[in-house]
Structure 1
Amino acid sequence: MFRFSMLCLLAFFAVNAGAGTSSEPSSERKRGGLSLENPILFVTQVPIPADFTTIGSTFGNHLARLAVAGRGGDLYIRYPDGTLKNLTQAAGFGQDGHQGESAIGVRDPHVHWDGQKALFSMTVGAPEQFEVQEYYWQLYEITGLGPDDTPVITKVPNQPDRYNNIQPIYGLDDDIIFVSDRPRDGLRHLYPLLDEYEEAPTPTGLWRLDPANGNLHLMNHTPSGAFYPFIDSDGRVVFTRWDHLQRDQQADADETSDDGPVYGTFNYADESENAARLDNREEFFPEPRRARTDLLEGTNLEGHSFNRFFIWQINTDGTAEEVLNHLGRHEMVGYFNRVFNDDGSLREFISSVSGRFNTNDIRNLFRAREDPTRPGTFFAVDAPEFQSHTSGQVVSFHAPAGHNPDQTGFDYVTHRDTANVSDTPSPDHSGLYRDVAPLNDGQVLVVHTAETRADRNDGTRAQPTSRYDYRIKVLAPTGQHMAAGQPITAGIDKTLSYYDPDVLVSYSGPMWELSPVEVVARVKPQAHTDPVPDIESRVIDEEGVDLDALRQWMRDRDLALVVSRDVTTRDANDRQQPFNLQISGSQTQTLGDDGPVYDLKYLQFFQADRIRGIGGLDSPRAGRRVLAQPMHDTSDANPANASGPAGSVVLGSDGSMAAFVPARRAMSWQLTDDGGVPVVRERYWVTFQPGEVRVCASCHGVNTTDQAGNPPPENEPLALRDLLDHWKSTQSCTSGESDLDDSGSVNVLDGIVLTNAFGTDNADADQNCDGVVNVSDIRRWTGYW
């Protein structure tokens, strides 16, 4: 398990303190704070005490309205000698005093690989009183970061307009990866996406933009939001994701209210703009929440709730989305319930008696960043969901690509007391920590407030007063842990006002200092990739299928291929869902003990359809929440399955599964018996990319051994062979047919036939079955000749 070494602690004592003076926003250089090796880019933010879908919140923090984001912040840089420069002001952005049409807010700076420029998000403008206007965060780039440079700020071209685009980072190919609330398919009538908890607006996922040509791609579709991406030294995009795959609690309140609907939830017939509004709240998946005792009565279900902020990874092309290194609930959290109440083999998960490697419970993980001095080691913040603006405890963990989660421990960098707000703090509670920025010299910067209580407005709406005074500080050793040391600035004060829009909000005092990032060149890694495993590649080859042609066929139809080798195998740590499993009508089974054995026949897929409305049938609010609906976007890509539940595929006799599924849409699934009764349910949404071939050998994936003590399965999946046979039967061409004139030999005359068919959809000449005869077919044909 990773632990801080004494050398790391002692390094902090070597930091020399500098002179501290007050610092007002201006283009003049001001001195104060500590001397650091490299410049630090950061933003200032007018304090916003409220903590529900505001600028500092754990979720819904992407909105630019004045009431939740304020105005008057700036982009700053601190040079190694302590000098400060207000970059936005020096570039001609923002205004002093009352915030009007030139007002700005800034957030989320990110430095380019070469250390010479940076991205950030900015919103421009503020209303006059009672004016209701639309404001959005947009992406900007700044150059000229040197002490004697005049900074130049330009808006990133070709980004989604009239949407909130935040937390940008530079990709590996001159592209930009960022978070946006643009609907997954750009359909404005579905805006905004409403989260799965409070039906509050939420981002739709990570997006990738090529600013030069406007190519925009959705990397993942996240029904409750994705946040804080960065690219680690292994070339993975690492980010925080909010997972809340459960039934709609607002709909539950409407259903159980004795006084009529409370929230006015209802279902749309489909995702279309003019879809019928249905007077029902039908849901299919997952099982009911524990609060719905009326639905649970007479069943063996405990009731299901799920609410976690974990660290995820995804490749830069949007493939292979999963929790980072498969680190999930079993490796981190302290407790969660079993699914059935009548199976003695199933038990509650209690970390203290689980025997897992990690002994330090983790509740949530926010704002992860990799330590540049120790690749694969990450810092993050474990914070409560509300009350503290995503502030809590600094933790660290070691998770390079391929590291087994069964051998991953978490280190409490600051004391565990700092993970929670407290009105009666212990002596070990050193305050609350929000952003973590490990530096190239081994030091770690944090955004910190010494306040331990929950934040609230101790003033008024017109003159708000936050309890929190966020400052950027250096972590320093204190006993067995670390705590905030000296600030890197002497503070930045500002006097400003703005309409929210109904009330004139006035503020005079220190600005919050947020989002520090080191201005230094970094080595650009190679993109992380996940090739099709050898086992599945061999099956595809043996079936005579051209993988490139299959991928192109899927891309043309927005489909992906998902494969499992043996769904009866589950990770040995998961004893909360059934693990004594057998394939109905076959000898394939995997048993973890002598408890009840469950038959499996089908795997049923669900897709996240945006069909839940709120606000009443007559005048609903804008936006929609997703509901899990049986998969229906695959047309006839999969074999017909009239006997199974909607959206399902038949499992192979060896326990395998293979299916074409919709791409760029969140998907989940469950294993069912012959009658379609659920046995094992997936707990996450997962997105696949067009043309992706994704192999999950088990369900739940095996870290070390399965429930029977076996390693991960390595069988050639029969279900994949069956699916490929079906696919080939639907194709009008035969991949690799080289004798095009049926003469009995391959010669130059066949080349003439191929050339004459160039640019057409001639099935006889289409060598790779991608629907068009082109250079790829000529290359393939000449390889046979």
Structure 2
Amino acid sequence: MTTKVETPAMEKTSYPLLFVTQVPTAHDFNNRLSAFANHRTTTADVPRGGDLMLLYPDGTIRNLTQEAGFGMSGLQGQKAIAVREPSVHPSGKKALFSLLLGSPKKNQTNNHYRWQIYEVEGLAANDKAKIRRLAKQDPRYNNLSPIYADDDSIIFTSDRPRTGEAHLYPQLDEYEATPSISGIWKLNPASGQLQLLSHTPSGAFNPIIDSFGRVIFTRWDHLQQDQLADRDRDADRNGVSLPFQSFNFSDESATAKALQERVEIFPESRVGSSGTYGDVSPYRSNFFTLWQIDQDGANEETVNHVGQHELAFGFATPSFRNDMNLSRSTNEQFYANRQPLRREGGLFHLREDPLEPGTFFGINARESGSFTTDSIVKISARPDLNPEQMQVIAVTKIDKSDNLQDGRYRNPLPLSDGRLIASHTSHQLPPDAESTLQDLRIKVLERHPKTGLYTAKHALTQGIHKELSWWDGKQLKHFKGDLWEIEAVELKPQKNITPPTKSLESPEQAIFKEAQVDESTLRQWLTDQNLALIITRNQTSRDRADQQQPFNLKVPNGVSTVSKAATSGVIYEIQHFQILQAEQIRAYPDRPGRRHLAQTITNFHPLNIQEPDIASSVIIAKDGSTAAFVPAARALTWQTTDAEGNAVVRERNWVTFKAGEIRVCAACHGVNQRDQADFPAPFNKPEALRELLTQWKKISQNASSLSK
């Protein structure tokens, strides 16, 4: 259900700009400007020497870090710094950023430095900058992309393991088992209380708070089986030495037993397989897209619940090859978007248009080899906009060959005075091993009156020149020239706009009333137990545009939903809803830390209405509904299965729930406008919820009587 969102008229005003400078790096391989693993701290990945800069509308520029006594010139040493990702307090009088302090001496180890969150004040024209490190943060981990929440808590990303246990550090991503960001965190700077808002097995990047109070961020959706283990399996079959020697631990604990196996139960194989329903297609996922979450950690989903088939449409792989009802391509009649995002990449460096709330500018870049430079696009994503109506629109010229004649862009920023600026380089092709981006500067873009597309014009600065040197192991590196200018933000006061509290809709409210269960009491119990409650009204109903997984479904002796366009083919019976959690149990002898695998939940709550033979699952009710108590603050995924536990429809993302949260999905994978049978989203009272509440009520009443 969507509601109309009113936004005030915006006046055009010019404000000062905060941005950072960065010594150019020689490669785009998990370094400072890469799409992922950009938090690494060696001097090869992030040479020291950059600063936090403040540019006023009259052209006056201040070096804030230098004013406050941070950084050094010449040979970089203990006082050397690198800086990144400034964000402004709603008052407009102070800002957060991340700072990396220190550079190694000759032959000194490079890996013990950590990005930490700092705050700067003294930003008025006649002030002097004051910079302090936030005291309550954990110095053992890299803390990045800080923003102020409405309650003055700090929301940021970090590579801190979910549990903070040293043996799980670093978290390894689902791609090449590279150290990754573990999620989005929230810190109370006064008490030091820390909360994990979104647990992301492959990383989350660049959160912002939009005009509607939502935390909007780029997330790497890479939920697939381990490609390193695939290479080990091939080596094993061919009788040659294993290149990665991947193996599973028995659990996440420090005392877990190393197993002589590399079993994975979810999702499908990357190379294809066969099963009860015939040949199963290979499944691979690699997409950076927009996600949203409330500032308290509730309601995590893709922005407006948009699907990949609406943003990166075209050819798609059906899950079961022998089902002729499944499509090999997305159906463009079901979405307004006509500009696809890159599948092996996505949308980076989001900034909301201050004059058009709900419109976000970003870079449509590939995942590697580009420093996340490419063309600029904008996407419409107001909270009341149905995903089928969301559109990606080219802002600068797009070239699928990756040869951008107008140059390459990064960090677009629509300004409050109506202008558009971005970091821009004249390089047309992505840099390679022999070259880097030598002229990445912040420039004003101008719109062509006929094409409507923007091109870079004049730079905002005269160039910020430095001559530096630093040690990278035994090698002394040198740089002389203009620094990169990136990550600009406006020093602009803003109003806090807390999103409206979401309440349960009438079907679920009716069940609570009829079961005589007080919603607030249940929520408090969930919070105390670190649980959430997830509800689906009808698992057989699926969005009409999602035709790559089975959509002719029925519950044995219960509800069914079958497409009117279905010819012959299987009508799949679904009987169980199986929930899996991300556990760091995959390891490799040559690297510290562990990778996540999807696992059944060992301590699945005993109140759940379940079938013991199908681990961590609940039974699908006759009306197609499900309800389950699930772990909070941990990445979860799920699938519907038949009576024997064979997978039918699989979730393609990880989702985190807040403790005490009650989340309702009308249908499996959500219905935007109509489902596969051309019906609107289900609005039935979920009987599975009634059964679960009845069981919970008995237990809670017994506990209450025993405590008296």
Per the normalisation by structure 1, the TM-score is 0.85
Report the number of matched residues. 686
Q: For 1:383, what is the secondary structure of its paired residue? A: strand
Distance in 2 (alpha carbons) for counterparts of 1:636 and 1:553: 15
Distance apart, 1:688 and its partner CA: 0.5
Please say if residues 309 and 365 of structure 1, whose CA atoms lie closer than 8 Å, have aligned partners that are also in contact.
yes
1:107 aligns with 2:70: no
Q: Which runs of 5+ in 1 are unaligned?
A: 1-10, 13-35, 459-464, 736-761, 766-785
Where does residue 755 of structure 1 map in the other structure? none
Where does residue 138 of structure 1 map in the other structure? 116
Distance apart, 1:274 and its partner CA: 1.9
Where does residue 252 of structure 1 map in the other structure? 230
Distance in 2 (alpha carbons) for counterparts of 1:528 and 1:96: 49
Alignment equivalent of 1:86, drawn from 63, 68, 80: 63
Please give the per-residue CA displacement for 1:475-508, whole angstroms capped at 9, x wherever unaligned. Answer: 1113411111211111111010111233211111
Please say if residues 321 and 688 of structure 1, whose CA atoms lie closer than 8 Å, have aligned partners that are also in contact.
yes
Distance apart, 1:127 and its partner CA: 1.1
Please say if residues 572 and 707 of structure 1, whose CA atoms lie closer than 8 Å, have aligned partners that are also in contact.
yes
Where does residue 330 of structure 1 map in the other structure? 309
Letter in 1 for 2:430: A
Please give the per-residue CA displacement for 1:514-565, whole angstroms capped at 9, x wherever unaligned. Answer: 1001111112212354322232122112211122221122122211100000
Q: For 2:694, what is the secondary structure of its paired residue? A: helix
Alignment equivalent of 2:184, drawn from 196, 202, 206: 206
Please say if residues 330 and 547 of structure 2, whose CA atoms lie closer than 8 Å, have aligned partners that are also in contact.
no
Deviates more, 1:633-642 or 1:558-567: 633-642
Q: For 1:367, what is the secondary structure of its paired residue? A: strand
Q: For 1:312, what is the secondary structure of its paired residue? A: strand
Where does residue 664 of structure 1 map in the other structure? 633
Distance apart, 1:468 and its partner CA: 3.8
Distance in 1 (alpha carbons) for counterparts of 2:480 and 2:503: 56
Please say if residues 610 and 617 of structure 2, whose CA atoms lie closer than 8 Å, have aligned partners that are also in contact.
no
Letter in 2 for 1:497: S
Please give the per-residue CA displacement for 1:338-384, whole angstroms capped at 9, x wherever unaligned. Answer: 11111111111246x55531111112111111101011111111001
Greater Rg by CA = 1
Where does residue 464 of structure 2 map in the other structure? 492
Letter in 2 for 1:215: Q
Where does residue 17 of structure 2 map in the other structure? 40
1:502–1:529 CA distance, 2 compared to 1 (3 A): farther
Taking only aligned residues, the RMSD between alpha carbons, in angstroms, comes to: 1.9
Please say if residues 559 and 624 of structure 2, whose CA atoms lie closer than 8 Å, have aligned partners that are also in contact.
no
Letter in 2 for 1:127: P
Alignment equivalent of 1:221, drawn from 199, 203, 206: 199
Alignment equivalent of 1:269, drawn from 240, 250, 271: 250
1:431 aligns with 2:407: yes
Distance in 2 (alpha carbons) for counterparts of 1:583 and 1:436: 49
Alignment equivalent of 1:642, drawn from 588, 612, 621: 612
Please say if residues 564 and 695 of structure 1, whose CA atoms lie closer than 8 Å, have aligned partners that are also in contact.
yes
1:310 aligns with 2:280: no
Please give the per-residue CA displacement for 1:704-760, whole angstroms capped at 9, x wherever unaligned. Answer: 00001111100000000111122123225487xxxxxxxxxxxxxxxxxxxxxxxxx
Please say if residues 116 and 145 of structure 1, whose CA atoms lie closer than 8 Å, have aligned partners that are also in contact.
yes
1:624 aligns with 2:598: no
Where does residue 724 of structure 1 map in the other structure? 693
Greater strand share, structure number: 2
Where does residue 6 of structure 2 map in the other structure? none
1:346–1:119 CA distance, 2 compared to 1 (3 A): same
Following superposition of structure 1 onto structure 2, how do residues 484-523 of structure 1 map, counting pairs within 5 Å?
A: 484-523=456-495
Distance apart, 1:763 and its partner CA: 4.2
Distance in 2 (alpha carbons) for counterparts of 1:590 and 1:734: 44
Alignment equivalent of 1:349, drawn from 324, 329, 339: 329
Q: For 2:150, what is the secondary structure of its paired residue? A: coil
1:712 aligns with 2:681: yes
Distance apart, 1:764 and its partner CA: 5.7
Distance apart, 1:70 and its partner CA: 1.1
Where does residue 300 of structure 1 map in the other structure? 279
Where does residue 475 of structure 1 map in the other structure? 445
Distance in 1 (alpha carbons) for counterparts of 2:348 and 2:145: 13
Distance in 1 (alpha carbons) for counterparts of 2:682 and 2:276: 38
Where does residue 235 of structure 1 map in the other structure? 213
Alignment equivalent of 1:606, drawn from 558, 565, 580: 580
Distance apart, 1:125 and its partner CA: 0.6
Where does residue 773 of structure 1 map in the other structure? none
Distance in 2 (alpha carbons) for counterparts of 1:491 and 1:104: 19
Please say if residues 315 and 528 of structure 1, whose CA atoms lie closer than 8 Å, have aligned partners that are also in contact.
no
Identity of aligned residues (%): 44
1:388–1:296 CA distance, 2 compared to 1 (3 A): farther
Letter in 2 for 1:231: I
Distance in 2 (alpha carbons) for counterparts of 1:342 and 1:350: 18
Letter in 1 for 2:665: C
Where does residue 16 of structure 1 map in the other structure? none
Q: For 2:377, what is the secondary structure of its paired residue? A: strand
Distance in 2 (alpha carbons) for counterparts of 1:83 and 1:444: 20
Deviates more, 1:518-527 or 1:590-599: 590-599
Please give the per-residue CA displacement for 1:185-227, whole angstroms capped at 9, x wherever unaligned. Answer: 1111100110000100110110011101111100010000000
Where does residue 17 of structure 1 map in the other structure? none
Please give the per-residue CA displacement for 1:597-640, whole angstroms capped at 9, x wherever unaligned. Answer: 1101001111000000013xxxx421110000012233423134
Please say if residues 379 and 391 of structure 2, whose CA atoms lie closer than 8 Å, have aligned partners that are also in contact.
yes
Deviates more, 1:496-505 or 1:695-704: 496-505
Letter in 1 for 2:102: G
Distance in 2 (alpha carbons) for counterparts of 1:528 and 1:171: 15
Please give the per-residue CA displacement for 1:58-95, whole angstroms capped at 9, x wherever unaligned. Answer: 00001222221110110001111111111000100000
Please say if residues 316 and 327 of structure 2, whose CA atoms lie closer than 8 Å, have aligned partners that are also in contact.
no
Per the normalisation by structure 2, the TM-score is 0.94
Alignment equivalent of 2:259, drawn from 264, 270, 278: 278
Where does residue 369 of structure 2 map in the other structure? 387
1:414–1:528 CA distance, 2 compared to 1 (3 A): farther
Distance in 2 (alpha carbons) for counterparts of 1:196 and 1:187: 20
Letter in 2 for 1:279: Q
Q: For 2:231, what is the secondary structure of its paired residue? A: helix
Distance in 1 (alpha carbons) for counterparts of 2:437 and 2:547: 44
1:491–1:647 CA distance, 2 compared to 1 (3 A): same
Distance in 2 (alpha carbons) for counterparts of 1:583 and 1:448: 55
Distance in 1 (alpha carbons) for counterparts of 2:482 and 2:697: 67
1:407 aligns with 2:389: yes
Distance apart, 1:178 and its partner CA: 0.3
Q: For 1:101, what is the secondary structure of its paired residue? A: coil
Where does residue 47 of structure 2 map in the other structure? 70
Distance in 1 (alpha carbons) for counterparts of 2:325 and 2:593: 43
Distance in 2 (alpha carbons) for counterparts of 1:200 and 1:299: 34
Distance apart, 1:420 and its partner CA: 5.7
Distance in 1 (alpha carbons) for counterparts of 2:198 and 2:265: 23
Distance apart, 1:144 and its partner CA: 0.4
Where does residue 193 of structure 1 map in the other structure? 171
Deviates more, 1:524-533 or 1:321-330: 524-533
1:324–1:657 CA distance, 2 compared to 1 (3 A): same
Where does residue 161 of structure 2 map in the other structure? 183
Please give the per-residue CA displacement for 1:208-267, whole angstroms capped at 9, x wherever unaligned. Answer: 111011111000100000001011111100000000010000000000123221111110
Distance in 2 (alpha carbons) for counterparts of 1:389 and 1:53: 9
Q: Which runs of 5+ in 2 are unaligned?
A: 1-10
Distance in 2 (alpha carbons) for counterparts of 1:498 and 1:126: 7
Where does residue 98 of structure 1 map in the other structure? 75
Letter in 1 for 2:357: P
